[in-house]
Structure 1
Amino acid sequence: MKIDIHAAPEKPAGWAPLALGFRPFFLLAAWFAMLFMATSLGGFVTGIWHYNYFDLSLWHAHEMLFGFAVAVVAGFLLTAVRNWTGLPTPTGWPLALLVLLWLIPRLVSAVPMPPLLFALFDMLFLPTLAIVLFRNLQKAKQPHNYSVPALLLLLAASNLGIHLDLLGQLEESTAPMLHLGVLTLVAIIVLMAGRVLPFFIGKTTGAQTGSSKSIEKLALPSILAFTALNLLLPLPAIIAIAAITVALLHALRMQHWYTAAIWKEPMLWVLYIGYGWIIAGFLFYAGALLLDLGVVHAVHAWTIGAVSMFTLGMMARVSLGHTGRPVRALPWMPAAFGLMVVAACVRVIAPLMYPDWLERAVEISATCWIIAFLIFTIRYSMLLLRPRLDGKPG
């Protein structure tokens, strides 16, 4: 019997939503991203918001960090740590319980419940995830990867600081703790990018990539040092100089990774541009301090440009590779990546140039975000729910 080796593989039978950590967390992150942004946009446009624990602005900021972004980080790390250590991470019912620790606070964040109870629920997930990953790293004797659970605990500390302020136990800690959370997520992306982006670029394009050892040694510490300086010694001139220094360091890092072939591959340029928004964020931060402007533009450069764009690109790539599919952009995904570029540019740059356009910029940016994640959910939902094409576990 003649076999056509070029025939498309059959669609896998059955379901596998809990086969590996990236599956439920990426799926829920994408759906949550759409619903979260649509609800936020509706609240901002109509002025209607049923206040419970958070006001609308704080709910938007908190859930962007500890809802959407943390879910993507969890899905990636549960998958990556299994690869690094060769040890299993939670699957099946243990993974389902971990997912519930993330999901329950998202569902109840805008409904009436005792504030202390909500705060306790919301603070369970990150420490639990850190412990799960640390145990694997410890068993595999990989102390060089201990920065991963340490960063998760730093995120947990920023969440704790926000809750302590809202519960009346720590005055005026919400703003600095939100900044701590954002910068910790930036640090996680810096760590992830150093592990995967040169490899992805080299594998796809054949180019020689990789920065100098000195730059790599300074990449993560530079973010952490800036974060500590910003919290402990908030002198505008010093912080501005530090921000510019960090931006230059990471621009050099990006330059070492660069090849023109990146722009031919959507699965590469989405990550490369996402990393570039980290640099832009530090430059906006420095400019805001030197010109006595608000740092909100820098924060959105980091959250929409860096965190959201990089995580969207990583979800698209990891979901393909770990379900046994070729790693190439699915139909409409380049448009989704482009919409995230528009969302970031409009939200960050337009209000700087035309302050009266702020409301319109928010609406356009949020709409682009929603459509981008709608495309992802349409293209990837069934892929994340079905078993691997090659029949392997995961």
Structure 2
Amino acid sequence: MDQTQTPRRGAVPRGLLQTGPVLFSYGFRPFFLGGAIWACVTMVLWIATLAGQIEIASAYGLYAWHAHEMLFGFGSAILAGFFLTAVPNWTGRLPVSGWPLAGLFSLWCLGRLAMLFPDVIGALPAATMDALFLPALLTISAREIIAGKQWKNLKVLIGLGVLTAANLGFHYEAIVIGAADYASRFGISAYITLICVIGGRIIPSFTRNWLAKQGATRFPAPFSRFDMITILASVAALLLWSLSPEGVVTAIVGCGAGALQFARLYRWRGWTTTSETLVTILHIAYLFVPFGFVAIAASALGWIDRASATHILTVGTMSAMMLAVMTRATRGHTGRQLTASKMTNLCYAAILLCALVRPLSAILPAYLVLIYASAGLFWLAAFGLYLIEYGPMLTRVRRQAMG
């Protein structure tokens, strides 16, 4: 989320909006705040529903609702915050702010409200209202990248486009078939692909910048043909998993992609950054990428259940990486020092514990309730602590981003 490219001469500086609500001065502010709040709200509702205290979204399907709101509710908000902050850095164009940003955020909020009450308004109207947001985000991102002539960044639009299509497919499967298995896997695959592409840009860059400040002389390997081969192998593995999650071929390709991703991460020299967790967490979160591919392979062979493999990808890879980017970007774009506080470190510990605890349900089925409860509490701790520390930064003080 920090600037990863040198701005073009005459590029528009960040944070230009100096009047109006601070919350809508830059894209990361409303979407990181809204995404973190929704992460907590949906988990509370999920736990209460599992405990039999409330009933929610029965017209849509409880498990489908939970999966949708984590993937396309919470996840899309954090992705929007990233795109609306990163794209102006890539293009040198004005960021979306003020009323246009408020309007886009309102579309996301409309989707969340609609998906809370499909039993009242109907599953199809709820899905229709939810489906408005991602096409709008895709249109805005495409317009800015094309207008800025950043052709090499068009590839990230493919991932966003797949995610948009997966959301539509999810609604179709959930309403017509009753289980959105294919669309769910395609949605997860879109997120993982974006992490592979964008993570391969920002993680080595941030690591190199930090190491340079420490006087180091050995840096992460630059992007090369090896990285491209790794990304292509990963896309192939994800496509196979999305279409056919079981079988030897899926397992073999998944293992191959996992091995390449382990090697890729090693080339970024993450072990040299352990004195600054704001950098180290990016490497740890990315470590779940190769673990996720190994889990896909194990699931394809029937060694672990499919849900455990899915949660390694969604909680370990997606959510941990999102929290890592949220904390760094919020600090950097509000003028704070790029160093993790004690509370930030607790956020990281909580989300990693959540990622490690949740898959244990396949190994220790006798402790299923305890595992679910523990994972849910760790999730709430991670995003609750983020809201406590970073909420005021997002809403109260307007500061220029650090250069």
CA distance in 2 between counterparts of 1:318 and 1:58 reads: 31
Partner in structure 2 of residue 132 of structure 1: 140
Q: What residue identity is the alignment partner of 1:368? A: F
CA distance in 1, matches of 2:55, 2:305: 25
TM-score (norm 1): 0.91
1:352 counterpart = 2:358? no
Unaligned runs of 5+ in 2: 1-17, 213-217
Give the CA deviation at 1:45. Answer: 2.2
Matched, 1:49 2:60: no
Match of 1:123 among 131, 145, 162: 131
Structure 1: gaps of 5 or more residues: 1-11
Q: Considering only aligned residues, what root-mean-square deviation do their CA atoms show, in Å? A: 2.1
Given that 1:281 and 1:298 are in contact with CA atoms closer than 8 Å, whether structure 2 keeps it comes out as yes
CA distance in 2: counterparts of 1:393 and 1:197, whole angstroms: 18
Count, aligned residues: 379
For 2:57 and 2:136, the matched residues in 1 are separated by: 29
Q: Distance in 2 between matches of 1:255 and 1:45?
A: 42
Shift of 1:309: 0.7
1:8 equivalent in structure 2: none
Alignment of 1:215-226 (within 5 A): 215-226=226-237
Aligned-pair distance for 1:226? 1.9
- Distance in 2, Cα, partners of 1:295 & 1:244: 16
Tell me if the contact between 1:165 and 1:174 (Cα under 8 Å) persists in the aligned partners: yes
- The partner residue of 1:339 within 325, 340, 350 is 350
Tell me the residue number matched to 2:286.
275
Structure 1 residue 211 displacement after superposition = 4.8
Matched, 1:110 2:116: yes
Q: Please identify, of 253-262 and 203-212, the stretch whose mean Cα deviation from structure 2 is larger.
A: 203-212
Deviation of residue 219 (structure 1)? Answer: 3.6
In structure 2, what is the equivalent of residue 3 of structure 1? none
Code of the aligned partner of 1:213:
S
| Cα drift, residue 381 of structure 1 | 0.8
- Taking the aligned partners of 1:64 and 1:55, their CA distance within structure 2 comes to 14
How far is the alpha carbon of 1:134 from its aligned partner? Answer: 0.7
1:202 & 1:128 partners in 2: Cα distance?
A: 35
Q: Whole-Å Cα distance in 2 between the matches of residues 203 and 304 of structure 1? A: 28
CA contact under 8 A between 2:333 and 2:402: conserved in structure 1?
Answer: no
Query: What is the aligned counterpart of 2:253 among 242, 246, 254?
Result: 242
Alignment-derived partner of residue 390 in structure 2:
380
Alpha-carbon shift at residue 204 of structure 1 (Å): 1.3
The 5 Å alignment of 1:265-344 reads 265-291=276-302, 293-344=304-355
Greater RCO, CA 8 A, separation 6+: 1
Tell me the distance in 2 between the aligned counterparts of 1:235 and 1:345. 23
Separation in 1, partners of 2:309, 2:244: 19
Contact 1:309 1:340 in 2 (8 A): yes
| 2:13 aligned partner | none
| Structure 2 residue identity aligned to 1:267 | L
Percent identity over the alignment is 31
Match of 1:158 in 2: 166
Give distance in 1, aligned partners of 2:40 and 2:298: 32
1:113-152 C-alpha deviation (Å, 9 max, x unpaired): 1322212111111111111111111112122111222211
Q: Which moved more, 1:158-167 or 1:36-45?
A: 158-167
TM-score in terms of structure 2 length: 0.89
Amino acid at match of 1:162: F
Q: 1:393 to 1:103 in 2, by over 3 A?
A: farther
Partners in 1 of 2:127 and 2:362 — Cα distance?
A: 35
Match of 1:19 among 4, 17, 25: 25
8 A contact 1:54–1:110 mirrored in 2 = no
| Residue 367 of structure 1 pairs with residue 377 of structure 2 | yes
Residues 1:34 and 2:40 aligned together: yes
Question: Does 2:200 match 1:175?
Answer: no
